[in-house]
A and B are shown apart, each in its own frame.
Chain A
Amino acid sequence: VTAEQPTHQTLCSQRFDAAAVATLRQLMAGCAATAGLAPARRHDFVLAVDELVTNAVRHGGGAGHLEVWLAGGRIWFQISDHGPGLAQPLPDQPPAPTVLGGRGLWITRQITDELTVVTGQGGTTVTGALDLPL
């Protein structure tokens, strides 16, 4: 009850490209259910991973690696790519309603309990988590 739980249970670890985006959503819905997320949060989890995978496909060199695991009462995800890096990692403000793009990370941050973006010339790694119900 006191210290951080050392348990780390991997639910998914795989490479992806554009062809895998829809299939990954089904897989993520399964992971979210396994983790015990409530139905509304399951969809948020699926959407968050979908947005980040889409970002990696579009801006991160067309492919990447996805990792999902349980630790510390949360379901975690990490999407990494070897693209050229993101110019605008985490906007403070939502994009204006009439601009065409740039919403993926904004939306992802709104629906996750933690989100960290590390980006540079060697690629981008986004790590995030949703709290599991107590």
Chain B
Amino acid sequence: MQLTTEVTGHDGYAVVVVAGELDLGTASDLLETLTETVKAGDLDVILDLAGLEFCDSAGLAVFVRIRNELDAARRRLVVAGANETVTRILDLSGVSQVIPTVPDTPAAVALVNQGPDAVAPANGAQAAADPAEPTDAADPAEPTDAADPAEPTDAADPAVPTPDAGGPATP
């Protein structure tokens, strides 16, 4: 089985539905799709992984790369709906410490609508099996955020100005 991706744009965020198997052979396809998505606009990105059956460290590398790009632009990557085995590798690797994981896409939408500093609910991750592992996305190494306007939960105004709407963040 190969990998399929489907991107839908929304107001302030994009949902990327990823299904199949994510490994050395398919990671570059996902990286390409996500890079285009990030370039296309100032958006948070929700990865809907409900249909992802396998993910190894090649897949994690893509998640982290995109997470870092978004983070530099004060945007977020949120993982939604990962199955038990995908959640396990996210936790084992520590990647879930910097990429919030929530049970499904609606929960991810709720999270990104709360703004860049919202934290996933403690019981939000399916990976809640290990209570010692915080699921919160707040990275102590992250720069403090001073001037970020809270995003409206209502999508009424698509033209909310953001101070850092500038282009791609990666050098």
* Residues of chain A whose beta carbon lies under 8 Å from any beta carbon of chain B: 18, 21-22, 25, 40, 43, 46-47, 50-51, 54, 57-58, 94-101, 103-104, 106-107, 110-111
Stretch at the interface among B17-25, B119-127, B147-155: B17-25
Given contacts A51-B57, A100-B64, A107-B89, A21 and B94 within 8 Å (CB-CB): no
* Set B56, B64, B68, B139: member contacting A51, Cβ < 8 A: B56
> Within 8 Å of chain A (Cβ to Cβ): is B67?
yes
**What is the number of contacts between chain A and chain B, taking CB atoms within 8 Å?**
71
Query: How many B residues, CB 8 Å from partner?
Result: 28
Please give the distance in Å from B78's CB to the nearest CB on chain A.
15
Q: What are 8 pairs between A and B in contact, CB < 8 Å?
A: A22-B25, A25-B54, A46-B54, A54-B56, A54-B57, A57-B24, A100-B68, A111-B92
Alpha-carbon distance between A45 and B2 when the two chains are bound, in angstroms: 21
Q: Tell whether, in the assembled complex, residue A94 and residue B93 are in contact, meaning their CB atoms are under 8 Å apart.
A: yes
Select from chain B the residue with minimum beta-carbon distance to A108. B57
Asked, given contacts A100-B61, A100-B64, whether A58 binds B24 with beta carbons under 8 Å apart, the answer is yes
* A97/B24 in contact, CB under 8 A: no
Instruction: Check A98–B64 contact: CB distance below 8 A.
Output: yes
Residues of B within 8 A of A (CB): 1, 21, 23-25, 54, 56-58, 60-61, 64-65, 67-68, 84-85, 88-89, 92-95, 97-99, 139, 141
In the complex, residue of chain B having the shortest beta-carbon distance to the beta carbon of A104 = B57
Which one of B54, B64, B92, B141 lies within 8 Å of A99 (CB-CB)?
B64
**Most chain-B Cβ atoms within 10 A of its Cβ — which of A25, A95, A103?**
A103
Contacts of A96 in B (CB 8 A): 94
With A97-B93, A97-B95, A97-B98 known as contacts, the answer to whether A103 contacts B23 (CB < 8 A) is no
CB <8 Å contact, B93 and A21: no
Q: Please provide the 3 A-B residue pairs with the shortest distance between their CB atoms, ordered closest to farther.
A: A103-B57, A97-B98, A97-B94
Q: Quick check: A110 and B67 within 8 Å, CB to CB?
A: no
A18 x B57 contact (CB < 8 A): no
A47 to B84, CA, bound (A): 13
Q: Which residue of A lies closest to B1 (CB)?
A: A22
A40 to B67, CA, bound (A): 28
Known A54-B56, A97-B97, A107-B92: A21·B67 in contact at CB below 8 Å: no
Cα of A51 to Cα of B80 in the assembled complex, Å: 24
